[in-house]
Amino acid sequence: MVTEQWMIEEVLKVVPDARVEASDLHGSGDHFHVRIISESYEGVRPLQRQRPILNHFKPFIAQNTVHALDLKCMTPAQAAESGDTAFDPHGEEVEFFGVHIRRPDKE
Amino acid sequence: MAEFNWTPDELQEIVDNNRLVLFMKGTPEQPQCGFSNRASMVLQQIGEPFVSVNILSDHRAIPSVCAWSDFPTMPQIFVHGELIGGSDIALEMYESGELQQMISDGDSE
């Protein structure tokens, strides 16, 4: 079991310039939604944004210290456009996908 | 059916031979995890046929798939043989239209 603060500190080791917000989805210290907002994500594909963070957390996921890690890696512009991005995988809601990410029109 | 041993070659063959592959906990009909369910719903929303692999069907599956793809969590979505990521990325790319674009781009190559 870890804390939101621990999550934030670990993510900052990987993306030092980022603004990081972590939410412990169940208060159980192992299901986290984490928003990482960084200028460095400009022009970087979604998987490539997540890879360094996932690699860092690999041992914690393997030990099941962290059971669920839902990452949202955004540029400041995307963060400004997005609403609540939290998604609870064990939530009761049956709404469309359970999350709403508003994004600027690409065109 | 021949025995399946979750070797890198066998896994690669699945994603090479199918344009959309979802490695998930459970099945689209009976998902065993909210993230897997979300990934499966995104793919169903696209309306294209996809192959789903239940990684809870064999205890060797999760470590084998994660080592092969170098991605630590489930689900994992492959488009034209390329890992795009988990359910969060699939949803993001679906909502922006990138996922649909990636599928049709691969078809025309």
> Quick check: helix, strand or coil at residue A107?
coil
Which chain A residue is nearest to residue B31, measuring alpha carbons? A89
- For residue A44, the domain's CATH number is 3.30.300.90
Contacts of B38 in chain A (CB under 8 A): 87, 89, 97-99
Q: Would the CB atoms of A91 and B93 count as touching at under 8 Å? A: no
Instruction: Please list the ranges in chain B whose pLDDT falls under 50.
Output: none
Look at strands B82-85 and A31-37 and give their pairing: unpaired
User: Could you tell me the residue range of the domain that residue A54 belongs to?
Assistant: 4-81
Per-residue pLDDT, A33: 92
ipTM of the complex: 0.76
A98 lies in some domain: no
A61 lies in some domain: yes
A72 lies in some domain: yes
Chain B residues touching chain A at CB-CB below 8 Å: 33-35, 37-38, 41-42, 71-73, 83-85, 87-89, 91-93, 95-97
Contacts of B73 in chain A (CB under 8 A): 54, 61, 68-69
How confident is the model over A80-104, as pLDDT tens digits? 888 767 776 666 544 444 443 333 4
Four-point Cα dihedral B50, B51, B54, B57, nearest 10? 160
Per-residue pLDDT, B45: 95
How confident is the model over A45-62, as pLDDT tens digits? 999 999 999 999 999 988
Total domain count for chain A?
A: 1
Contacts of B35 in chain A (CB under 8 A): 68, 70, 87, 89
Q: Would the CB atoms of B96 and A98 count as touching at under 8 Å? A: no
- Chain B interface disruption, residue of A34, A44, A47, most B CBs within 10 A: A47
- pTM comes to 0.82
CATH number corresponding to B18-108:
3.40.30.10
Which chain A residue is nearest to residue B67, measuring alpha carbons? A58
Per-residue pLDDT, A92: 53
A71 lies in some domain: yes
The residue among B67, B61, B58, B55 whose CA lies nearest residue B25 is B55
The DSSP-derived string for A58-87 is HHHHHTTSS-EEEEEEE-HHHHHH------
Domain ranges of chain B: 18-108
Asked if A44 has any chain B CB less than 8 Å from its own CB, the reply is no
- Indicate if the pLDDT at residue A1 is higher than 90: no
